[in-house]
A and B are shown apart, each in its own frame.
Chain A
Amino acid sequence: MTSGLWERVLEGVWVTIQLLVLSGLLATAVSFVVGVARTHRLWIVRFLAGFYTEVFRGTSALVMIFWVFFVLPPAFGWQLVPLWAGTLALGLTYGAYGSEIVRGALAAVDPAQREGGIALSFTPWQRMKLILLPQAVPEMIPPFSNLLVELLKGTALVSVMGMGDLAFSANLVRLALQESAEIYTYILLIYFVIAFLLTRSMRGLEKKLKAGVGKAPRKKVTAAGRVPEGSGVS
Chain B
Amino acid sequence: MTWDWGAVADFMPYFWDGLWVTLQILVFGSLISFALGLVWALLMRAPTRWVTWPVGGVTEFIRNTPLLVQLFFLFYVLPEWGITFSALTTGVFAIGLHYSTYTMQVYRAGIEAVPVGQWEAATALNLPLRRTWTVVILPQAVRRVVPALGNYVISMLKDTPLLMAITVLEMLGQARLFAQQNFQFTEPLTVIGVAFIVISYLASLALRALERRLVH
Question: Given the known A-B contacts A75-B186, A226-B155, are A195 and B148 also in contact in the complex, defined by CB atoms under 8 Å?
Answer: no
Question: Given the known A-B contacts A67-B193, A153-B65, A230-B151, are A60 and B161 also in contact in the complex, defined by CB atoms under 8 Å?
Answer: yes
Q: Are B151 and A159 in contact (CB under 8 A)?
A: no
Question: Given the known A-B contacts A181-B80, A184-B69, A184-B72, are A66 and B189 also in contact in the complex, defined by CB atoms under 8 Å?
Answer: yes
Scan B111-138; emit 1 where CB is below 8 A from any A CB, else 0: 0000000000000000000000000000
> Given A61-B158, A223-B105, 6 more contacts at CB 8 Å?
A70-B186, A156-B68, A188-B65, A226-B102, A226-B151, A233-B208
In the assembled complex, the CB of A221 is this many whole angstroms from the nearest CB of chain B, namely 12
Is A64 among interface residues, defined by CB-CB distance under 8 A?
yes
- In angstroms, Cα B105 to Cα A179, docked, is 35
Q: What residue of chain B has the Cβ atom nearest to residue A60's Cβ?
A: B158
Q: Are B201 and A71 in contact (CB under 8 A)?
A: no
- In angstroms, Cα B64 to Cα A195, docked, is 6
Q: Are B77 and A63 in contact (CB under 8 A)?
A: no
Q: Are B196 and A59 in contact (CB under 8 A)?
A: yes
Q: Are A62 and B161 in contact (CB under 8 A)?
A: yes
Scan A214-234; emit 1 where CB is below 8 A from any B CB, else 0: 000000000111101110011
In the assembled complex, the CB of B25 is this many whole angstroms from the nearest CB of chain A, namely 12
- In angstroms, Cα B66 to Cα A187, docked, is 10
Q: Would you mind naming 8 contact pairs between A and B with Cβ atoms under 8 Å apart?
A: A58-B201, A59-B193, A63-B172, A153-B65, A188-B73, A229-B155, A230-B151, A233-B147
Q: Are B193 and A167 in contact (CB under 8 A)?
A: no
Is A114 among interface residues, defined by CB-CB distance under 8 A?
no
Is A113 among interface residues, defined by CB-CB distance under 8 A?
no
Residues of A within 8 A of B193 (CB): 59, 63-64, 67
Q: Are A224 and B69 in contact (CB under 8 A)?
A: no
- In angstroms, Cα B176 to Cα A187, docked, is 27
Is A43 among interface residues, defined by CB-CB distance under 8 A?
no
Q: Are B1 and A187 in contact (CB under 8 A)?
A: no
- In angstroms, Cα B152 to Cα A171, docked, is 29
Chain A contact residues, CB within 8 Å of chain B: 54-55, 57-64, 66-67, 70-71, 74-76, 149, 152-157, 159-160, 167, 170-171, 174, 179-181, 184-185, 187-188, 191-192, 195-196, 223-226, 228-230, 233-234
Within 8 A of A (CB), among B1-54: 1-2
Q: For chain B, which range describes its interface: under 10, 10 to 19, 20 to 34, or 35 or more residues?
A: 35 or more
Is B177 among interface residues, defined by CB-CB distance under 8 A?
no
Q: What residue of chain B has the Cβ atom nearest to residue A157's Cβ?
A: B68
Return the contact of A170 from the options B72, B152, B155 (Cβ within 8 A).
B72
Q: What residue of chain A has the Cβ atom nearest to residue B101's Cβ?
A: A225
- In angstroms, Cα B191 to Cα A71, docked, is 12
Q: Are B176 and A66 in contact (CB under 8 A)?
A: yes
Q: Are B204 and A230 in contact (CB under 8 A)?
A: yes
Q: Are B68 and A160 in contact (CB under 8 A)?
A: yes
Q: Are A149 and B189 in contact (CB under 8 A)?
A: no
Q: Are B64 and A191 in contact (CB under 8 A)?
A: yes
Is B150 among interface residues, defined by CB-CB distance under 8 A?
yes
Residues of A within 8 A of B175 (CB): 66
Instruction: From A58, A149, A160, A181, name the one whose CB has the most chain B CB atoms within 10 angstroms.
Output: A58
Q: Are B189 and A63 in contact (CB under 8 A)?
A: yes
- In angstroms, Cα B69 to Cα A152, docked, is 12
In the assembled complex, the CB of A229 is this many whole angstroms from the nearest CB of chain B, namely 4
Residues of A within 8 A of B66 (CB): 152-157, 167, 191
Residues of A within 8 A of B152 (CB): 226
Q: Are A180 and B1 in contact (CB under 8 A)?
A: no
